[in-house]
């Protein structure tokens, strides 16, 4: 148990550090609202799509392509998305429903989930997790674009508008462009990949600093009830249901463990970037990210302990 907690802290501690740095920089006056707006737009339109593109083209699509596992993940993701959305309709103000839903189902799998899978299951975890990450990125961004478009204060909720928001989403464009490159193993110039890597490496620090700069005690108090509810959905109820479904489906061992990590990961920083781009309540999105990241140290380790105790993962 202690080793598992240490592994999780190694992954989550840098996230906490960058969030705290954003708070400090804002207090010192080194960054302001104009910087946060510009940096968030840069992440959404440039650095994050580049990061997703490079992640997919470097994944080994042939080694760990498992249709059953991928199929279950897609179905479970859709089910948890609908559950979170339904609960948001019942319990949230209309303006916050898109933010609540995205915070409750969208996990930080590219960083936390993949790192934990690799740490526990080695090369197999890296291979399966990388292939699954491509599916994660596409499904999460499409579903998030839909629900944010419906509840965006500046958007119409007709099918054409929603489709346009999906097709024009830079994160989805990055994924779609990467798929043929990865599938046909098209060679890109080394200088281009290196430059793209430099550009992409700015994504997580910038996104987390912007989240930290947005946080305030007042905004946390105002959104505490909704943020805690969405966080509980993300870190307790939906991972419990999705992992139980995977167990009933017949997954065991590393496959069940990897699915658990992906379902139990805290809310992704990309949810803040997309919420801000959609004109939504980005302060609520930031609060959910902070709460789920803190909670993940406890809930992920308890879940893993239970799976290992039962001999299932």
pLDDT at position 157, please? 59
Whether residue 146 lies inside any domain: the answer is: yes
Domain of 146, CATH number, reads 1.20.1530.20
pLDDT at position 196, please? 96
Task: Calculate mean pLDDT across residues 179-186.
Answer: 86
Whether residue 27 lies inside any domain: the answer is: no
Whether residue 209 lies inside any domain: the answer is: no
CB-based contacts of 135-138 (< 8 A; 24+ apart in sequence)? 135/70, 135/73, 135/74, 136/73, 136/77, 136/107, 136/109, 136/110, 136/262, 137/52, 137/55, 137/56, 137/110, 137/171, 137/175, 138/172, 138/175, 138/176
Q: Tell me the percentage of the chain whose pLDDT exceeds 70.
A: 91
Whether residue 173 lies inside any domain: the answer is: yes
Q: What is the pTM of this model?
A: 0.82
Domains identified in the chain, total number: 1
Whether residue 42 lies inside any domain: the answer is: no
Range of the domain at 242: 48-202+215-309
Whether residue 98 lies inside any domain: the answer is: yes
Greater confidence, 165 or 264? 264
Whether residue 24 lies inside any domain: the answer is: no
Whether residue 207 lies inside any domain: the answer is: no
Q: How confident is the model at residue 7 (pLDDT cuts 50, 70, 90)?
A: low
Q: What is the distance between the alpha carbons of residues 263 and 302, in angstroms, rounded to a whole number?
A: 14
């Amino acid at each position: 148990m202690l080793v598992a907690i240490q592994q999780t802290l190694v992954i989550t501690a840098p996230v906490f550090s960058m969030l705290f740095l954003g708070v400090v920089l804002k207090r010192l006056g080194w960054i302001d609202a104009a910087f946060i707006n510009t940096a968030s737009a840069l992440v959404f339109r440039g650095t994050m799509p580049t990061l997703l593109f490079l992640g997919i083209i470097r994944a080994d699509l042939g080694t760990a392509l498992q249709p059953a596992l991928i199929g279950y993940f897609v179905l479970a993701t859709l089910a948890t998305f609908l559950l979170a959305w339904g609960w948001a309709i019942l319990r949230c103000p209309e303006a916050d429903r898109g933010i609540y839903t995205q915070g409750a189902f969208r996990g930080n799998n590219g960083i936390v989930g993949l790192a934990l899978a690799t740490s526990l299951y080695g090369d197999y975890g890296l291979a399966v997790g990388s292939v699954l990450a491509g599916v994660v990125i596409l499904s999460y961004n499409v579903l998030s674009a839909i629900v944010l478009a419906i509840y965006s204060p500046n958007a119409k909720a007709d099918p054409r508008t929603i489709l346009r928001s999906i097709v024009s989403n830079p994160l989805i464009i990055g994924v779609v462009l990467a798929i043929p490159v990865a599938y046909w193993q098209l060679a890109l110039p080394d200088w281009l990949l290196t430059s793209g890597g430099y550009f992409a490496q700015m994504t997580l620090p910038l996104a987390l600093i912007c989240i930290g700069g947005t946080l305030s005690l007042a905004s946390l108090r105002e959104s505490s009830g909704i943020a805690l509810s969405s966080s509980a959905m993300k870190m307790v109820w939906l991972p419990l249901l999705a992992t139980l479904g995977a167990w009933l489906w017949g997954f065991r061992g590393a496959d069940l463990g990897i699915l658990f990590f992906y379902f139990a990961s805290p809310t992704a920083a990309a949810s803040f970037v997309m919420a801000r781009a959609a004109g939504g309540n980005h302060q609520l999105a930031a609060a959910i990210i902070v709460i789920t990241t803190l909670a993940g140290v406890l809930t992920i380790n308890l879940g893993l302990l239970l799976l290992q105790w039962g001999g299932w993962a």
